[in-house]
C-alpha cells in the first residue's frame, strides 16, 4: 500500500508516492490488517492498516501479479526484516539482502528474494534521471508487476 503527503520531508522524495509498505495479513488482536514498513524513525516495523491510512492525503493499494507462493514468501521475507534500522542511502543501488532498509527497498527486496530475482518491482533497475539508482515508491507503483485495487484521495 502507498501513501502520498504533500508536506514536509515527503516532498523531497521523487515521484508522486512518498511511502510504501506491505500488507502482511489480518490480526484478530488488532481487528485490523497489518502492514510491514520501513520508516526513518522506527526502522522496519509492523503497523496497522488504520494507522497507515491516517498519515496520508492519498492512499492506494496494489496487488502484485504473482503466484500465492511468491506472495507468501515475500511476506515472510518482509516480516523477517522487522527490527532492522532505516537505510538512508538512496544513492547506491539497493541490496536485496541488507542490514537496513528504506520503505520501497524493503518491498522490492521481498519480491526479489521471494522469486529468485524474477520479480523486479523496479522498472528502472539501473540509473534513471528521476530516481537515480534507488527504487522509489512510485517505481513500485508503476511496475508492470503491480496493479491498483484501491485508490482514495481525501
x/- map, 111-150, Ca ion, by CB under 5 A: -----------x-x------x---x---x-----------
Choice between 48 and 120, CB closer to Ca ion = 120
Q: Does 103 bind Ca ion (CB under 5 A)?
A: no
Separation in Å, CA 125 to CA 2, 51, 112 = 20, 31, 12
> Residue for cell digits 530516481?
131
Cell digits of residue 35: 502492514
d(Cα 141, Cα 43) in Å, to the nearest integer?
21
Q: List beta partners, residue 62.
A: 148
Number of residues lying near Ca ion (CB under 5 A): 5
x/- map, 17-56, Ca ion, by CB under 5 A: ----------------------------------------
CB 135 within 8 A of CB 122: yes
d(Cα 53, Cα 73) in Å, to the nearest integer?
25
x/- map, 58-77, Ca ion, by CB under 5 A: --------------------
> Residues interacting with Ca ion, by CB under 5 A?
122, 124, 131, 135, 139
Amino acid at each position: 500500500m502507498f501513501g502520498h503527503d504533500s508536506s514536509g520531508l515527503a516532498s523531497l522524495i521523487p515521484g508522486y508516492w512518498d511511502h510504501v509498505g506491505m500488507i502482511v495479513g489480518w490480526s484478530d488482536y488488532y481487528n485490523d490488517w497489518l502492514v510491514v514498513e520501513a520508516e526513518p524513525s522506527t526502522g522496519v516495523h509492523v503497523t496497522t492498516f488504520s494507522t497507515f491510512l491516517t498519515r496520508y492525503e492519498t492512499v492506494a493499494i496494489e496487488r502484485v501479479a504473482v503466484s500465492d507462493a511468491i506472495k507468501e514468501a515475500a511476506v515472510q521475507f518482509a516480516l523477517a526484516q522487522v527490527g532492522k534500522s532505516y537505510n538512508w542511502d538512496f544513492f547506491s543501488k539497493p541490496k536485496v539482502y541488507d542490514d537496513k532498509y528504506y520503505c520501497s527497498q524493503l518491498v522490492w527486496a521481498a519480491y526479489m528474494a521471494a522469486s529468485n530475482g524474477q520479480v523486479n518491482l523496479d522498472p528502472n533497475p539501473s540509473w534513471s534521471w528521476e530516481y537515480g539508482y534507488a527504487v522509489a515508491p512510485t517505481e513500485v507503483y508503476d511496475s508492470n508487476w503491480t496493479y491498483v485495487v484501491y485508490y482514495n484521495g481525501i
